[in-house]
Structure 1
Amino acid sequence: MRRILIVGAGQSGLQLALGLQAKGYDVTVMSNRTPDEIRSGRVMSTQMMFRTALRYERELGLNFWEGLAPRALGLGFSVAGTVPGVPGVQRPVDWIGRLDGYAQSVDQRVKMAGWLDAFAERGGRLVVHAAAVSDLDFLAARHDLVLVAAGKGELVSLFRRDPARSPYTTPQRALALSYVHGLGPRAEHPEYDAARCTIVPGVGELWVIPTLTTSGRADILFWEGLPGGPVDVFQDVEGPGEHLTRTLELLEWFVPWEYGRATAVELTDPGATLAGRYVPAVRDPVGRLPSGGLVLGVGDAVVVNDPLTVQGANSAAKCAASYLASIVERGDEPFDAEWMRTAFERYWASARHVTRWTNTMLGPRSPHIRALIDAAARLQPVADRIANGFDDPSDFDDYFYDAASAGTYMSEAKVPAAGGT
Structure 2
Amino acid sequence: MRKILIVGAGQSGLQLALGLQSQGYEVTLMSNRTADEIRAGRVMSTQCMFDTALQHERDLQINFWESQAPRIEGLGVSVAAPGSHEAPEGSQRAIDWVGKLDGYAQSVDQRVKMAGWMETFAQRGGQLVIHGAAVSDLDFFASRYDLTMVSAGKGELVSMFGRDAGRSPYDAPQRALAVAYVHGLGPRPEHPDYDAVRCNLVPGVGELFVMPTYTTSGRADILFWEGIPGGPLDAFQGVKDPEEHLAVTLELMEKFLPWEYARATKVELTDANGTLAGRYAPTVRNPVGRLPSGGLVLGVADVVVANDPITGQGSNSASKCAASYLASIVERGDQPFDGDWMRTAFERYWTTAQHVTKWTNAMLAPPPEHILNLIGAAGQLQPVADRFANGFNDPSDFENFFYDPEKTNAYLASLTG
Class of the TM-score when normalised by the shorter of the 2 chains: over 0.9
Alpha-carbon distance in 1 for matches of 2:290, 2:72: 42
User: Which of 144, 149, 152 is equivalent to 2:151?
Assistant: 149
Match of 1:349 in 2: 351
Q: 1:195 to 1:142 in 2, by over 3 A?
A: same
The residue identity in structure 1 corresponding to 2:334 is D
Which stretches in structure 1 are left out of the alignment for 5+ residues? 416-421
> Is the CA contact (8 Å cut-off) linking 2:14 and 2:114 kept in structure 1?
yes
Deviations 1:29-77 (A, max 9, x none): 0000000000000000000000000000000001000000000000000
User: Which of 225, 228, 247 is equivalent to 1:226?
Assistant: 228
Task: Give, in angstroms, the shift of residue 88 of structure 1.
Answer: 2.4
Task: Give, in angstroms, the shift of residue 405 of structure 1.
Answer: 1.1
| Partner SS, residue 318 of structure 2 | helix
Q: Does 1:263 align with 2:265?
A: yes
> Is the CA contact (8 Å cut-off) linking 1:82 and 1:89 kept in structure 2?
no
Match of 2:68 in 1: 68
Match of 1:53 in 2: 53
> Is the CA contact (8 Å cut-off) linking 2:204 and 2:366 kept in structure 1?
no
Match of 1:78 in 2: 78
Match of 1:174 in 2: 176
Alpha-carbon distance in 1 for matches of 2:192, 2:143: 57
| Partner SS, residue 413 of structure 1 | helix
Alpha-carbon distance in 1 for matches of 2:378, 2:269: 33
> How many residues get paired?
415
Match of 1:207 in 2: 209
Q: 1:33 to 1:86 in 2, by over 3 A?
A: closer
| Partner SS, residue 232 of structure 2 | coil
| Partner SS, residue 143 of structure 2 | helix
Deviations 1:126-178 (A, max 9, x none): 00000000011011110000000010000000100000000000000000010
> Is the CA contact (8 Å cut-off) linking 1:74 and 1:99 kept in structure 2?
yes
Alpha-carbon distance in 2 for matches of 1:44, 1:144: 31
| Partner SS, residue 28 of structure 1 | strand
| Partner SS, residue 277 of structure 2 | strand
> Is the CA contact (8 Å cut-off) linking 2:90 and 2:258 kept in structure 1?
no
Match of 2:164 in 1: 162
Q: CA RMSD in A?
A: 1.2
Task: Give, in angstroms, the shift of residue 238 of structure 1.
Answer: 3.4
The residue identity in structure 2 corresponding to 1:49 is M
The residue identity in structure 1 corresponding to 2:324 is S
Match of 2:29 in 1: 29
| Partner SS, residue 334 of structure 1 | coil
Alpha-carbon distance in 2 for matches of 1:203, 1:83: 11
Match of 1:284 in 2: 286
| Partner SS, residue 409 of structure 1 | helix
The residue identity in structure 1 corresponding to 2:6 is I
| Partner SS, residue 89 of structure 1 | coil
Alpha-carbon distance in 1 for matches of 2:61, 2:184: 32
> Is the CA contact (8 Å cut-off) linking 2:311 and 2:392 kept in structure 1?
yes
Alpha-carbon distance in 1 for matches of 2:188, 2:134: 47
Alpha-carbon distance in 1 for matches of 2:220, 2:96: 23
Task: Give, in angstroms, the shift of residue 83 of structure 1.
Answer: 9.2
Match of 1:321 in 2: 323
Alpha-carbon distance in 2 for matches of 1:3, 1:170: 38
Match of 1:128 in 2: 130
State the TM-score, normalizing by the size of structure 2.
Answer: 0.98
Q: What percent identity do the matched residue pairs reach?
A: 71
Deviations 1:325-371 (A, max 9, x none): 00000000000000000000000000000000000000111111111
User: Which of 394, 397, 406 is equivalent to 1:395?
Assistant: 397
The residue identity in structure 2 corresponding to 1:394 is S
Task: Give, in angstroms, the shift of residue 91 of structure 1.
Answer: 1.0
The residue identity in structure 1 corresponding to 2:71 is R
The residue identity in structure 2 corresponding to 1:20 is L
Alpha-carbon distance in 1 for matches of 2:347, 2:363: 24
The residue identity in structure 2 corresponding to 1:74 is G
Task: Give, in angstroms, the shift of residue 411 of structure 1.
Answer: 1.1
| Partner SS, residue 70 of structure 2 | coil
Alpha-carbon distance in 2 for matches of 1:142, 1:83: 61
Task: Give, in angstroms, the shift of residue 186 of structure 1.
Answer: 1.0
Match of 2:386 in 1: 384
